[in-house]
């Protein structure tokens, strides 16, 4: 973790991009803690908030796109075969598969907020041959919500960001579900208003 902090302090936005991309692909990187740290650095003026948000989003989006491509082109059988070599537990793979079976494309919105699930969600979704356009819509929205949420929390917490990071994982699932519900309601309202204006 300290190495990640040091990289971000030294190399700024490039380190944010690389660490989040690799973390989403599956390397053992404390993504949420790093995002809180980025928010804190934006608070104290070391980084600018807007480029930090954009860099975190693009790093997350590239990481999940790479995982999706691996799952899509190699298939579920190969993913299961190679999962142990990348420290992906069979329980995480089975749990993610169950989530995808139940929630489909919406898993991509929730998965970012759940450690152990986000690292394999795109692999499973890719292996299920979800169309790229649908994947992009939900995965990139999830990347924006996730990175923005934790950078925003770090920015608001300021000097107290370390205390926040110690308790940040507890409300993740409830927070993710709440975000999905809000997003779903907003989407329904948007479609309803569009149809009403066309009629």
Residue 165 has pLDDT above 70, yes or no: no
Domain ranges of the chain: 2-198
Mean pLDDT of the chain: 79
Tens-digit pLDDT profile for residues 104-120: 778 788 788 877 777 78
| The pLDDT value given to residue 128 | 81
Residue 133: Cβ-neighbour burial (10 angstroms; 0-12, 13-18, 19+): exposed
| The pLDDT value given to residue 8 | 87
Cα–Cα–Cα angle for 29, 88, 170, rounded to 5 degrees: 55
| The pLDDT value given to residue 167 | 62
Q: In sequence order, what DSSP letters do the residues of the chain get, joined into one string?
A: -HHHHHHHHHHTHHHHHHHHHHHHHT----HHHHHHHHHHHHHTTSS-HHHHHHHHHHHHHHHHHHHHHHHHHHHHHHHHHHGGGGT--HHHHHHHHHHHHHHGGGHHHHHTTSTTTHHHHHHHHHHTT--HHHHHHHHHHHHHHHHHHHHHHHHHHGGGHHHHHTTTTTTHHHHHHHHHHHHHHHHHHHHHHHHHHH-
Tens-digit pLDDT profile for residues 64-123: 999 899 888 887 777 777 666 666 667 667 777 776 777 677 878 878 887 777 778 888
Instruction: Tell me which of 17 and 83 has the higher pLDDT.
Output: 17
pLDDT-based confidence at 13, cuts 50/70/90? very high
pTM over 0.85: no
Residue 130 has pLDDT above 80, yes or no: yes
């Amino acid at each position: 973790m300290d190495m990640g902090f040091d990289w971000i302090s030294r190399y700024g936005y490039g380190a944010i991009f690389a660490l989040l991309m690799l973390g989403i692909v599956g390397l053992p990187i404390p993504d949420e803690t790093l995002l809180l740290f980025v928010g804190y650095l934006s608070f104290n003026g070391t980084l600018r908030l807007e480029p930090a948000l954009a860099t975190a989003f693009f790093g997350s989006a590239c990481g999940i796109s790479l995982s999706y491509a691996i799952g899509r082109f190699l298939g579920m059988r190969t993913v299961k075969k190679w999962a142990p070599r990348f420290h992906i537990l069979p329980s995480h793979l089975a749990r993610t598969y169950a989530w995808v079976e139940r929630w489909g494309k919406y898993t991509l919105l929730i998965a970012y907020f759940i450690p152990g699930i986000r690292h394999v969600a795109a692999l499973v979704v890719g292996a299920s041959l979800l169309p790229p356009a649908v994947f992009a819509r939900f995965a990139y929205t999830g990347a924006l919500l996730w990175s923005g949420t934790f950078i925003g929390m770090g920015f608001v917490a300021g000097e107290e960001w370390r205390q926040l990071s110690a308790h940040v994982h507890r409300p993740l699932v409830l927070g993710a579900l709440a975000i999905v519900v809000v997003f779903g309601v907003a989407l329904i309202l948007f479609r309803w208003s569009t149809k009403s204006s066309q009629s």
